[in-house]
């Protein structure tokens, strides 16, 4: 389980999504507070967070609607940002499943990169496996160059 989370974290790093998600969470909190302040229909902070959640997830129960122009602007920006986050997370999760499948088959790029980054922690057998994998990748690259020429 921990390795799966490490792989997902590595994918988020490779796709440069960690900062994007942090900024989104920060904006989500600010936007929900602003919605609570700017719209008279949202009477509690909890309702502001609930409205933000159903807006970002595109559930849209309809139990809250914003009525003031500033609140509509904040809600629109939050909704668009939420759509981007869901889209990017879907891609990251797809990459994670692909890497898990490739690892199952023994061809995971993410696992190979992780091994390279932590070479000082590998056993002699694991180092030999990494070296064999690098040689095989180089042979594939050379074979690809010869067939394309």
83 and 28 in a single domain? The answer is yes
136 and 96 in a single domain? The answer is no
Q: Look up the CATH number of the domain holding residue 67.
A: 1.10.287.70
44 and 80 in a single domain? The answer is yes
Q: Average pLDDT, stretch 36-58?
A: 94
Residue 41 inside a domain? The answer is yes
pLDDT of residue 95: 81
Residue 111 inside a domain? The answer is no
Residue 131 inside a domain? The answer is yes
Q: Residue 8 pLDDT > 90, yes or no?
A: no
Q: Residue 71 pLDDT > 90, yes or no?
A: yes
123 and 88 in a single domain? The answer is no
63 and 134 in a single domain? The answer is no
Residue 61 inside a domain? The answer is yes
41 and 79 in a single domain? The answer is yes
Q: Is residue 21 packed enough to be buried (19+ CB in 10 Å), middle (13-18) or exposed (0-12)?
A: middle
Q: Give every CB contact of residue 103 below 8 A, 6+ residues apart in sequence.
A: 7, 110, 111
pLDDT of residue 81: 94
Q: Which domain holds residue 49?
A: 2-105
Residue 51 inside a domain? The answer is yes
Domain count, the chain: 2
**Which pTM does this prediction carry?**
0.64
In tens, the pLDDT along 84-141 reads 999 888 888 888 787 777 666 666 666 667 777 778 888 888 888 878 878 877 887 7
pLDDT of residue 44: 96
Most confident of 19-28, 56-65, 101-110: 19-28
44 and 13 in a single domain? The answer is yes
12 and 73 in a single domain? The answer is yes
49 and 96 in a single domain? The answer is yes
Q: Over the range 47-79, which residues count as b (16 or more CB within 10 Å of their CB) and which as e?
A: bbbbbbeebbeeeeeeebebeeeebeebbeebe
């Amino acid at each position: 389980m921990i390795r799966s989370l490490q792989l997902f974290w590595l994918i988020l790093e490779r796709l440069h999504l960690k900062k994007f998600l942090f900024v989104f969470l920060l904006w989500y909190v600010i936007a929900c507070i602003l919605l609570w302040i700017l719209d008279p229909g949202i009477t509690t902070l909890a309702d502001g967070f609930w409205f933000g959640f159903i807006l970002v997830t595109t559930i849209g129960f309809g139990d809250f609607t914003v009525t003031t122009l500033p609140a509509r602007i904040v809600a629109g920006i939050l909704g668009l940002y939420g759509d981007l986050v869901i889209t990017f997370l879907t891609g990251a999760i797809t990459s994670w499943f692909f890497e898990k499948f490739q690892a199952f088959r023994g061809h995971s790029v993410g696992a190979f990169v992780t091994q390279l980054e932590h070479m000082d922690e590998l056993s002699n057998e694991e180092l030999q496996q990494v070296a064999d994998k690098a040689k095989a990748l180089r042979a594939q690259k050379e074979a690809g160059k010869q067939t394309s020429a």
